[in-house]
């Protein structure tokens, strides 16, 4: 897949297990309790070890559309940003804006913590049933729009769980910036 340069940041799409990435932060598609769950949330909690759950207990949950940061513990990533995406209700409950907010808040937390690289999963597209094509377009646009306020961030990865999700994210990314060599 082709990476894109947006300002000082390199954006790319990959299809792999997010828990294996050596970046400053991976984003967890969390539920509002922040205490683990299924899908990518469960995988991140299992890979990070019990210390992650212990720290998450001190955060007292998180609202939909918001995000909170913890250590990465046993993950190769230094931090986990827990973003709570919306459950899809047909687009009638502000789902698009809440999903965009997850990406924006993730990038804001990267900047606030001086992080240079982050990997996002396809938030809300698993058990929350957000339409994958719509979610990919929102993810890329929200990230691109947030980048000017995050000069510390030089690498943004959209880490997809399936080839189909990867293709949708790549199509959305191709609409922005210039290809990287």
Q: Tell me, what's the pLDDT at 176? A: 78
119-150 per-position pLDDT tens digit: 999 999 999 999 999 999 999 999 999 999 99
What are the b/e assignments for 58-78, b being 16+ CB within 10 Å? Answer: eeebbebbbbbbbebbebebb
CATH at residue 158 = 3.40.220.10
| Residue 145 appears among annotated catalytic residues | no
Range of the domain at 125: 4-179
pTM of the model: 0.96
Annotated catalytic residue within 41, 66, 96, 174: 41
Q: How many domains does the chain have?
A: 1
Mean pLDDT over 24-30 rounds to 98
69-98 per-position pLDDT tens digit: 999 999 999 999 999 999 999 999 999 999
Q: Report phi then psi at 96, rounded to 5.
A: -60, -50
Please name which of 134, 135, 118 lies closest in space to residue 11, comparing C-alpha atoms. 118
168-179 per-position pLDDT tens digit: 999 999 987 667
């Amino acid at each position: 897949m082709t990476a894109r340069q947006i300002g000082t940041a390199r954006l790319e799409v990959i299809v792999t297990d997010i828990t294996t990435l050596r970046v400053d932060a991976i984003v967890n598609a969390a539920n509002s309790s922040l205490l683990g769950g299924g899908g990518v949330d469960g995988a991140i909690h299992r890979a990070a070890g019990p210390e992650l759950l212990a720290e998450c207990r001190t955060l007292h949950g998180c609202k939909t559309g918001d995000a909170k940061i913890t250590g990465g513990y046993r993950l190769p990533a230094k931090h986990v940003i827990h973003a709570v995406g919306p459950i899809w209700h047909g687009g009638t409950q502000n789902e698009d804006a809440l999903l965009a907010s997850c990406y924006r808040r993730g990038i804001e937390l990267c900047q606030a913590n001086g992080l240079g690289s982050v990997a996002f999963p396809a938030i809300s597209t698993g058990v929350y049933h957000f339409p994958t094509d719509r979610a990919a377009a929102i993810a890329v646009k929200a990230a691109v729009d947030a980048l000017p306020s995050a000069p510390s961030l030089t690498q943004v990865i959209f880490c997809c769980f399936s080839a189909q999700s990867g293709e949708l994210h790549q199509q959305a990314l191709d609409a922005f910036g210039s290809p990287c060599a």
